[in-house]
Chains A and B, each alone.
Chain A
C-alpha cells in the first residue's frame, strides 16, 4: 500500500484512540462531580490534564497548579477538552483529524467505516456543548465512547486483515502505549494513593483502564501500588495494559514486515520486542509492598516513554519517510 496511506491509517488509529482516551478520563472525572469534594475534584482534574499532557488552566501568577484547578470550574475544564476547536487535543479536534486522515484513504476504507466515522464527527460538530452539559455532564463523553466502540466494531467487521488494518491497529496501540505510560506515571506521582495526603484510589485507576473487574478476579481486592501498577503494566489479557499494547504492536509489525518476522528484523519490530522484554523482565512486582513512588519507578516510566516515542519515529522512518534510494526494487 502507498506509504502516505499507511501513514493515514496509522494516524487514523492514533486519533481515534486519543479521542477515546480523553473521553475515558473525562467520563471518570465527570461522574465524580456528584459526590467528590472540591479538593478531590481539583486533584482529579490535575491528573486528567497531566495525563493528557495539557497545560493547567490560566490563573494568577501567585497561584500554583493545584490551586489553579481548584479555582477553575468543571464546565470550562471539560469544554476545553471536548469542544474547543483551537485545542488540537480536544475530542472534536482529534475526531476531526481522524476524519481528515480517513478522507485521504477513502479508496481503501470500507464505506461503512467511513459513514460511521463521518456520522460521529457530524454528530459531535452539531452537538451544542451547553445543551449536552445540561442533560448531564458525563452524557456527552459517554456517547462519544459508545460511538467510538461502534466504530471499532464496524472496523472489525468490515476490514480485511491486510496492511491497511495493520497500520490502523499499529497507530491505535502505539497511541495507547504512550497514553497509558503517561497515565500510570502521573497517577503514581500525583494521585499518591496510599500516602497520607489527598489521593485518588488505585481502584479508580483500574476503572479508568477498564481493568477493575479482571484485577478483582485475578488478585482479589488487594489494592496495593505495586500490584496495581504491575497488573496494568504486565498483564497480557487486559486490553489497556502496557504488555497487551506492546504485544499487539509486535504482532502487527510482524505482519507488516515482508520477511514475516524472520531476521533481520525491521527496526520498529526490534524495538517493540525490546519493550516487551523490558516489561517482562522488570522487577516491579518485587516492590509491591512499597506504597510510595520512587526514583526507580520514575526511571522505568521515563525509559518506556522514550522508547515508545522512538518506536513512532522508527515506524515513520521505515515505512513512510524512507530515502528513495532505499526503496528502489533490486
Chain B
C-alpha cells in the first residue's frame, strides 16, 4: 500500500472558489448536452459539490495520484475482482475504481427511495397475479402473450404459494439521470449483483477521504449484510432461526467475489450445487460432519440452472430435486423462481401501467421512452430511426446483444435490421440517453465521465428497505456511454447526503 499522509485539507471549509475549466479543473470540459453533477452550465459549482471541489483543489495532484493508487491497490490485495471467461483461460480482473465520490442530495434521494419502494411493491403484486389469478392480464394491463411467451415465465410457479407473497426480496434497479430528473432504465429482479462493490468502494473511500467523508455527513451502507440476512430470514417458514446459505455457480462465475463476500458477511455457508443433496423433499448440505438441513437459500444462479429435474436437465450448477423441496414448502428461495418475467425489457415498458393498476398511484420514477418492436408501430419507428436509437434484446444483459445506433457502422445497422425483422419480439429500442456526468480522476486529470446508478431494495415479510447508496458505474473511456465493467466501465462510491 502506498504511503499516504492523511491531511485534513480543510474539508470542513467550502472555500476556495472553484470553477470548471480553471485551476485543478482546467481539463474539466462541460457539454451542454449532458447534465453535469459537479458544475452548473456556467462553470460554477453546484451547491452540493462546493466542498468536494474545494477539497480536490487543495489536494496536491501527486497526493491525489497516491490516493487513487492506494484505493486501486486495496482492491488488488483484497482480491475485489470479477471473473472474465476467455476463450482459452479464466482471468480475475480488478474492477476499476475512481476515487472521486458521486454526490446525491437528501432531497433527490428521498424521491428515488419513494419511487423504488413503489415500483418493487407493484412488481411483487404483479408477479403474484401473473402466477395466480392473472387479473391484470385479463384486464389488458399487460398483453397475455408477452407474459406467457417470455422465456423467464415459469409454468412451474403457477398456483404456488410463495412465502409472504415476496417474489422479489432483493432488487437492483438501474437508474439514470437525464437533466434534473431520474428515470428507471432497467429492473433487475432475478440475481442483481454489484452490492459488494458498493461496500468495497465505501470502505476504500473512508480510507482515502476520512475528513471529507465526515464533513459531508454521508448515509451509511455498512449494515447491508445484516439487513440482507434479516430480510431473507424473515421469509423462512420455520419458527426457529433458519439455516441459510448462499448458492453460487462457483468461482468461475463473474460475480463469485460478491457471492463469497456476502456469505462471509452474513456468516452463512457459500454452497455450490455439488454440496447439495435433496432427500425426502428436504434440502441438505454436505458438511464434514454429515448432512445438514438448509431452510433458506439466497440463490445467485439463474432459474434455468437451479434444478436439472425441474428446469434445464444439463445443469450441474443446481441440485436435483431442489424445486421439489421448494414446492413442498421445505425450502425458501430468494428470489423466487420466475421473477425474470417482470424484468424482461419488453415488460419494462408496462411497469408504469402496472403501478397504476395495482397501487392506484402515479409512478414516482419515470421510465425511459421505449419502443416495443413486437408492435408494428414500434418496429417501424425503430427501423426508421436506427441511427439514433439503442436497440436491446429483451432478455439481454451486460451490454451484450445490443446496437448503439450512433456508434454503429452502416453495415452493422443493416445486419441488425435484418435480425430485427426476423424476430421483432426479441427487441426493444430506446433513445440514446444523455447520461449525466460526474467528476472523475482519470490519467492524472479531473474530468467528467458518464455515470449510472444501481440502488438495491430489500423486501422482507413486513419490511422494505432501500439501501442509501448503490453501485455507481462509470464509463471511464472519454465520451463513452457504456458503463458495464465488461466493456471498460468502472465504479465509484455514491454518497447520499444526510442533509
* Chain A contact residues, CB within 8 Å of chain B: 1-6, 100, 103-104, 106-109, 111, 114-115, 118-119, 122, 163, 167, 256, 258, 319-320, 322, 324, 326-329
Contact partners of A328 in chain B: CB under 8 A: 279, 284, 290-291
CB distance from B344 to the nearest CB of A (A): 32
Taking CB atoms, residues of chain A closer than 8 Å to B291 are 324, 327-329
Q: Which 10 pairs from chain A and chain B are nearest by CB? A: A107-B264, A107-B263, A327-B290, A106-B260, A6-B288, A327-B291, A319-B288, A3-B286, A107-B270, A3-B288
A3 touches B77 (CB 8 A): no
Q: How far is the CB of A321 from chain B (nearest CB, A)?
A: 9
A163 to B270, CA, bound (A): 16
Additional A-B contacts beyond A3-B275, A327-B290 (18; CB < 8 A): A1-B287, A2-B270, A2-B287, A3-B288, A103-B251, A103-B256, A106-B270, A107-B264, A114-B78, A115-B78, A118-B78, A118-B79, A258-B289, A319-B289, A322-B290, A327-B287, A327-B291, A329-B292
> Are the CB atoms of A118 and B272 closer together than 8 Å?
no
Tell me the bound Cα distance from A324 to B278 in angstroms: 10
In the bound assembly, the distance between CA atoms of A122 and B257 in angstroms comes to 17
Interface residues of B in 263-290 (CB under 8 A from A): 263-264, 268-272, 274-275, 277, 279, 284-290
Kindly list chain A residues whose C-beta atoms are within 8 Å of the C-beta of B284: 327-328
Nearest Cβ in chain A — how far from B85, in angstroms? 16
Is B48 interfacial (CB-CB < 8 Å)?
no
Contacts of B256 in A (CB 8 A): 103
Q: B287 — which chain A residues lie within 8 A by C-beta?
A: 1-3, 6, 327
Check B288–A167 contact: CB distance below 8 A. Answer: yes
Residue pair B251, A104 in contact (C-beta under 8 Å): yes
> Which of B79, B269, B289 is in CB contact (< 8 Å) with A107?
B269
Q: State whether B288 touches A122 (Cβ < 8 A).
A: no
Give Cα A143 to B78, complex, Å. 21
B76 at the interface (CB under 8 A from A): yes
Q: Is the CB of B288 within 8 A of A111?
A: no
A107 adjacent to B260 (CB under 8 Å): yes
Which A-chain residue is minimally distant from B256 (CB atoms)?
A103
Question: Contacts A103-B260, A104-B251: A163 and B78 contacting too (C-beta < 8 A)?
Answer: no
Q: Which of A103, A107, A163, A256 has the most CB of B within 10 A?
A: A107
Q: A122-B76, A319-B288, A328-B291 are in contact. Are A4 and B261 (CB under 8 A)?
A: no
Complex: A125 Cα to B272 Cα, angstroms: 29
B293 an interface residue at 8 Å Cβ cutoff?
Answer: yes
Chain A residues with CB below 8 A from B257, complex form: 106
Known: A103-B260, A104-B251. A4 touches B272 (CB 8 A): yes
Q: Are A256 and B288 in contact (CB under 8 A)?
A: yes
Q: How far is the CB of B315 from chain A (nearest CB, A)?
A: 18
A4 in contact with B260 (CB, 8 Å): no
Please tell me if the beta carbons of A103 and B79 are within 8 angstroms of each other in the complex.
Answer: yes
Listed by A's residue number, 20 A-B pairs whose Cβ atoms lie within 8 Å are A2-B269, A2-B285, A2-B288, A3-B286, A4-B274, A4-B275, A100-B251, A103-B251, A106-B79, A106-B257, A107-B246, A107-B260, A122-B76, A122-B77, A167-B288, A324-B277, A324-B291, A327-B287, A328-B279, A329-B290
Q: Closest chain B residue to A164 by CB distance? A: B288
Please give the distance in Å from A119's CB to the nearest CB on chain B.
5
A106 touches B272 (CB 8 A): no
B293 contacts which chain A residues (CB < 8 A)? 329
**What is the distance, in angstroms, from B249's C-beta to the closest C-beta of chain A?**
13
| Complex contacts, B286 vs chain A, CB 8 Å | 2-4, 324, 327
Residue of B268, B271, B284, B289 ringed by the most chain A CB atoms within 10 A: B289
In the complex, are the beta carbons of A111 and B274 less than 8 A apart? no
A20 to chain B, nearest CB (A): 22
**Chain B, range 212-265, C-beta contacts under 8 Å to A:** 246, 251, 256-257, 260-261, 263-264
Q: How far is the CA of A111 from the CA of B203 in the complex (A)?
A: 13
A167 to B285, CA, bound (A): 18
Q: How far is the CA of A329 from the CA of B288 in the complex (A)?
A: 13
Q: Which B residues are CB-close (under 8 A) to A6?
A: 287-288
Nearest CB on A from B260, distance (A): 4
Chain A residues near B260: list those with CB within 8 A.
103, 106-107
Q: Interface readout for B282-314 with A: 1 if CB under 8 Å, 0 if not?
A: 001111111111000000000000000000000
**Chain A contacts for B78, CB-based, 8 A:** 111, 114-115, 118
Cβ-defined partner of A108 (8 Å) among B77, B264, B289: B264
In the bound complex, CA of A119 to CA of B77 (Å): 6
Contacts of A104 in B (CB 8 A): 251
In the complex, chain B residues 73-89 whose Cβ is within 8 Å of any chain A Cβ: 76-79
Which residues of chain A come closer than 8 Å to B77, judged between CB atoms?
Answer: 115, 118-119, 122
- Specify which chain A residues have a CB less than 8 angstroms from the CB of B76 in the assembled complex: 122
- Chain A residues with CB under 8 Å of B285's CB are 2
B288/A114 in contact, CB under 8 A: no
CA distance A229 to B270 in the complex (A): 45
B288 touches A106 (CB 8 A): no
- Assess the A163–B288 pair: CB atoms within 8 A: yes
Q: How far is the CA of A106 from the CA of B284 in the complex (A)?
A: 21
Measured CB to CB, the closest approach of chain B to A49, in angstroms, equals 30
Min distance, Cβ A301 to any Cβ of chain B, angstroms: 31
Find A106's partner among B264, B269, B279, B290 (CB 8 Å cutoff).
Answer: B264
Q: Is the beta-carbon distance between A106 and B261 smaller than 8 angstroms?
A: yes
> Could you say which residues of chain A place their CB within 8 Å of the CB of B251?
100, 103-104
Minimum C-beta distance from B71 to chain A (A): 15
* Residues of the B chain whose Cβ atoms lie less than 8 Å from the Cβ of A122: 76-77
Residue on B with the closest CB to A318? B288
A259 to chain B, nearest CB (A): 11
A114 and B79 within 8 A (CB): yes
Distance between Cα atoms of A329 and B292 in the complex (Å): 7
Residues of chain A within 8 A (CB-CB) of B277 are 324
Q: B143 to nearest A CB, angstroms?
A: 43
Chain A residues near B275 (CB-CB < 8 A)? 2-4
Compute how far the CA of A114 lies from the CA of B285 in the bound complex, rounded to whole angstroms: 25
List the B side residues contacting A167 at CB < 8 Å. Answer: 288
A100: B residues at CB distance < 8 A = 251
The CA of A6 and the CA of B463, in the complex, are separated in Å by 36
Query: A71 CB to closest chain B CB, in angstroms?
Result: 35
Interface centre among B274, B279, B285, B287 (most CB of A within 10 A): B287
Which single residue of chain A is at the shortest CB-CB distance from B245? A2
Q: How far is the CB of B366 from the nearest CB of chain A, in Å?
A: 39
Bound state CA distance, A38 and B270, in angstroms? 54
